[in-house]
Amino acid sequence: MARDFLHPFVKAALIHEGWVITHDPYELKVGGVDMEIDLGAECIIAAEQQGQKVAIEVKSFLTGTSAISEFHRALGQFINYRLALRAEEPDRVLYLAIPLKTFNTFFQLDFTKSAVDESNINLLIYNPNNQGELRWIPEIILK
């Protein structure tokens, strides 16, 4: 499966934030269907705590196609991957990683915000110009 060209950036930003990359890609086989989510990561705060597990699908929204076409594809993938994770690893939370510019423009449109809310999409906003800048919606709370 082709990787988004900003995949290495998001991976490096996660590592910079203290996450351990456990899967690259995160391969799933559910109901006879093979799938690949871009990344799997864990953040363990203390040895006695289990920590937080996430899976992240990276999108750049810069492929030259329309933003709505990219959004349709990303939304469909997210819903399928979330269903697969519920079956295989229900404690791993799925996030859709999108660039800050796309979040500040396309994802602020009423339609897009409604679709994200209705579909219960978790977002990871990354800034390609600043590796240390990640924003989680909903926020990741590490215990």
**How is residue 70 written in tokens?**
């990219």
Give yes or no for residue 141 having a pLDDT over 70.
Answer: no
Mean pLDDT, to the nearest integer, of 105-126?
Answer: 95
For position 142, what pLDDT does the model report?
Answer: 52
Higher pLDDT, 11 or 130: 11
For position 9, what pLDDT does the model report?
Answer: 87
> Binning pLDDT at 50, 70 and 90, where does residue 110 land?
very high
Instruction: Return the CATH class of domain 7-137.
Output: alpha beta
> Binning pLDDT at 50, 70 and 90, where does residue 143 land?
very low
Ranges of each domain in the chain: 7-137
For position 48, what pLDDT does the model report?
Answer: 43
Whole-structure pTM value: 0.89
Spatial distance between the Cα atoms of 63 and 129, rounded to a whole number of angstroms: 18
pLDDT in tens, 36-91: 999 999 886 554 445 789 999 999 887 667 889 999 999 999 999 999 999 999 99
User: How are strands ordered across the β-sheet holding 123-127?
Assistant: 20-23, 39-43, 52-58, 92-99, 123-127, 130-137
Structural contact between residues 49 and 42, judged by C-beta atoms closer than 8 angstroms = no
Element (H, E) at 126: strand 123-127
